Amino acid sequence: MVRRSRERLRPLIGVGGYLAVCVILASAAWVTVGTAAARGPAGTPANIAAAPTLDVADPTASPTPDPTSTPFPMPSFPDFPTPTPSPGPFTIDLYRKGTFISQVSKYACMAGATQNMLNIIGPKIDVTPTRQVEISHTIIANTTKTDSHNGGYGPAGWAITMTQLSGGHYKLLVDDSLIQAMNDAATALRKTGRPVGLLSWWGAHSWVMTGFKSDHDPRYYAANFTITGAFIVDPYYPRHSSIWGQTLGPDTFRDMAAMAHNYIGWKRPEGRYPGRDGKWLLVVPY
Residue 190 in any domain: the answer is yes
Residue 199 in any domain: the answer is yes
For residues 137 and 18, give the distance between their C-alpha atoms in angstroms, rounded to a whole number: 123
Residue 192 in any domain: the answer is yes
Same structural domain, 40 and 104: no
Residue 41 in any domain: the answer is yes
Same structural domain, 102 and 187: yes
Number of domains comprising the chain: 2
In tens digits, the chain (286 residues) has pLDDT values of 444 444 444 544 444 444 444 434 444 443 343 444 444 444 444 443 444 444 444 545 455 555 555 555 555 556 666 677 788 999 999 999 999 999 999 999 999 999 999 999 999 999 999 999 999 999 999 999 999 999 999 999 999 999 999 999 999 999 999 999 999 999 999 999 999 999 999 999 999 999 999 999 999 999 999 999 999 999 999 999 999 999 999 999 999 999 999 999 999 999 999 999 999 999 999 9
Same structural domain, 122 and 199: yes
State the CB neighbour count (10 A cutoff) for residue 207.
25
Same structural domain, 130 and 246: yes
Same structural domain, 168 and 274: yes
Query: Which amino acid type is present at position 125?
Result: I
Cα 93 vs. chain centroid, distance in angstroms? 22
Question: Which residues span the domain enclosing 106?
Answer: 90-285
DSSP state of 150: T
Same structural domain, 138 and 235: yes
**75 SS3 class:** coil
Same structural domain, 26 and 159: no
Same structural domain, 8 and 116: no
Same structural domain, 31 and 109: no
DSSP β-bridge partners for residue 186: none
pTM of the model: 0.72
Residue 67 in any domain: the answer is no
Same structural domain, 28 and 94: no
Q: Which alpha helices (DSSP H) does the chain contain, by range?
A: 2-39, 46-49, 109-121, 129-141, 155-166, 178-192, 256-262
* CATH code of 170's domain: 3.90.70
Residue 230 in any domain: the answer is yes
Residue 114 in any domain: the answer is yes
Question: What pLDDT score was predicted for residue 84?
Answer: 76
Same structural domain, 248 and 162: yes
For residues 96 and 101, give the distance between their C-alpha atoms in angstroms, rounded to a whole number: 12
